Structure 1
Amino acid sequence: MVAAVGRPEGDDAAGRCAYQGAPGAFSHEACTDLRPWDEAVAFDSFEAAIDALKTGQVGCALIPVENTTIGRVEPAASLVERSGLTIVSEVWRPIRLALMAPQGARLADIRTAESHPAALGQCVGTLATLGIAPVEAFDTAGAARAVAEAGDISRAAIGPARAAEVYDLSILRNDLQDSTDNRTRFVLLSA
């Protein structure tokens, strides 16, 4: 948990903060922690979240740009650099990855694990040790939603433990990340 960033003087923030992903994603958690007074608004891509800020649909956007395990989070970091938007604050947030699957699944049942490419990169060694094939998805929580909807006990998702609660999945293993110091830097953008 991180402390909320105070509302900048004169910034009404339009009451809405954009993030990339589905409800329950790490960006969603960071957005609600940093801007508890704003409505967190989900977008399918980093581009869409940044465009929403540029067009005034939201008052700010929270974007992940760097991770201690994989380095730059692309394409997000490049999009932020080219956006022309102002970085008003940043926060490093611990990232703990959970392996989650439909109710009744066991670790031995899992053949594939779906998640955002950045999350998969943070647990590639652990997945190899477990014999689980990584499958790229647009988002950590979006992967959890897809796994829940499919109901296939051979499919798992990797993401924040909260996503398991949101999509009624069982956590088969916590701390799936390869590094014990796995953190992501998020930047808060303003127009």
Structure 2
Amino acid sequence: MHKTIAYQGVQGAYSEQACKNAYGTYETIACDTFHEAMWLVEQGDADLAMIPLENSTAGRVEEIYRLIPKMALHVIGEHFEPVVHCLLALPNAKLEDLKYVASHPQALAQCHNNIISLGLKAEAKLDTAGAAKELVELKDMQRAAI
């Protein structure tokens, strides 16, 4: 039987990348929320959950520190995942025409200074990969994703 690891985000999210890098033989399970990923472990429907506690730019992920005391789980290890953010837009979009940028709140916080300097309005989404997927679906040349 395959071991499983739950994470918050859609396929392609940074959290899934961290799961694959740290637990390459585990089957990944995408979840809508951090709570759902942790709940799957608590219920025995996943062996582990990969949950970001902090990052070097934006600091602690406060939501996690509020969730941990409510769950019957504990930290068993840590993994450091290097992340490189990119500003994504549709083909032929021009930087000067962009008005909005969407991403996970942590990515937006990490890129805050660049977002401000570009004059973009930030829009929080559930995860980075989902923001990129939505960008493609909307086909709006004024939108970008991180």
Assess same fold via TM > 0.5.
yes
- 2:115 aligns with 127
Secondary structure at 2:62's aligned position in 1? coil
Unaligned regions of 5+ residues in structure 1, if any?
A: 1-11, 159-191
Q: In 2, Cα distance between the equivalents of 1:55 and 1:149?
A: 34
Percent of aligned positions that are identical: 38
CA distance in 2, matches of 1:35, 1:81: 25
- Structure in which a larger fraction of residues adopt strand: 1
Distance 1:92 1:81, change over 3 A: farther
The one-letter code matched in structure 1 to 2:89 is A
Structure 1 residues 83-138: Cα deviation after superposition (integer angstroms, max 9, x where no partner): 23132210222221111122222222211000111110111111111111111111
- Structure 2 residue aligned with 1:106, among 94, 116, 120? 94
**2-structure distance, mates of 1:87, 1:152:** 41
Counterpart residue number, 2:127: 139
Count of residue correspondences = 146
Residue aligned with 2:117, SS: helix
Gaps of 5+ in 2: none
Task: Report runs of 4+ in structure 1 exceeding 3 Å deviation.
Answer: none
Q: 1:136 to 1:147 in 2, by over 3 A?
A: same
Greater share of residues in helix: 2
Secondary structure, aligned partner of 2:92: coil
Q: Which has the higher contact order (CA 8 A, sep 6+)?
A: 1
If the length of structure 2 is used for normalisation, what is the TM-score?
Answer: 0.93
Instruction: State the TM-score, normalized to the length of structure 1.
Output: 0.72
CA RMSD of aligned residues (A): 1.4
How far is 1:46 from its partner?
0.4
